Structure 1
Amino acid sequence: MILGTTTAAVGAEGHVDNPYAGATQYVNDKWSAAVTAEAAAVAATNPTLAAQMLAIKDQPTAVWMDRIGAINGNVDGPGLKYHLDAALAQKGAAPIVLNVVIYNLPGRDCYALASNGELPATAAGLTRYKTEYIDPIAELLAKPEYAGIRISATIEPDSLPNLSTNMSEPACQTSAPYYKEGVTYALDKLHAITNVYTYVDAAHSGWLGWENNASHAVQTFVDVATSTKAGFASIDGFVTNTANSTPLTEPYLPDSTLSLSGTPIRSSSFYEWNFDFDEIDWTANLYTRLVAGGFPSTVGMLIDTSRNGWGGPNRPTATSTSSVLETYIAESKVDKRTHRGAWCNPAGAGIGERPQATPAGYTSSHLDAFVWIKPPGESDGSSSLIPNDEGKGFDRMCDPTFSSPKLSGKLTGALPGAPVSGKWFSTQFQQLVTNAYPAIPATGTQPPADTVAPSVPTNLVAGATTLSSIAVSWTASTDNVAVTGYDISSGGVVVGSSPTTSFTVAGLATDTAYTFTVRAKDAAGNVSAASAPLTARTATDVVIPGPDTVAPTAPTNLVAGTTTTSAVPLTWTASTDNVGVTGYDVYSGTTKVGSSTTTSHTVTGLTAGTSYTFTVRAKDAAGNVSVPSAAVTATTQTVPVTPAGSCQVTYSTNDWNSGFTATVKIKNTGTAAINGWSLGFAFPAGQTITNGWSAVYTAAGAAQTITNQSWNGTIAAGQTVEIGFNGSHTGTNTRPTAFTLNGAACS
Structure 2
Amino acid sequence: MRRIRAAVATGTLLAACAALLATAPSSQAADAPGFHIQDGRLLDANNKDFVMRGVNHAHTWYPDKTDQALKDIKAKGANTVRVVLATGDQWAKNDTADVTKVVSQCKANRLICVLEAHDTTGYGEAGAAIPLSKAVDYWLSVKGALVGQEKYVLVNIGNEPHGNTNYTAWTNDTKSAISRLRSAGLGHTLMVDAPNWGQDWSFTMRDNAADVLAADPDRNTLFDVHMYGVYDTPAEVSDYLNRFAAAKLPIVVGEFGDMHSDGNPDEDAIMATAQSKGIGYLGWSWSGNGGGVEYLDLVQNFDASRLTDWGKRLFDGANGIKATAKEASVFGSDGGGTGPGACAVTYRLSDWGSSFNADVTLRNTSDKKIDGWELGFAFPGQQKINSVWNAKAVQSGAGVRITPESWTNSIPAGGTVSFGLSGSSTGANTAPTSFTLDGRTCTAA
> TM-score range with shorter-chain normalisation?
0.3 to 0.5
TM value normalised by structure 1 = 0.29
Q: Name which one, 1 or 2, has greater alpha-carbon Rg.
A: 1
Task: Kindly indicate which of the two structures has a greater share of residues assigned to helix.
Answer: 2
TM value normalised by structure 2 = 0.44
Return the structure number with greater relative CO, CA threshold 8 A, min gap 6. 2
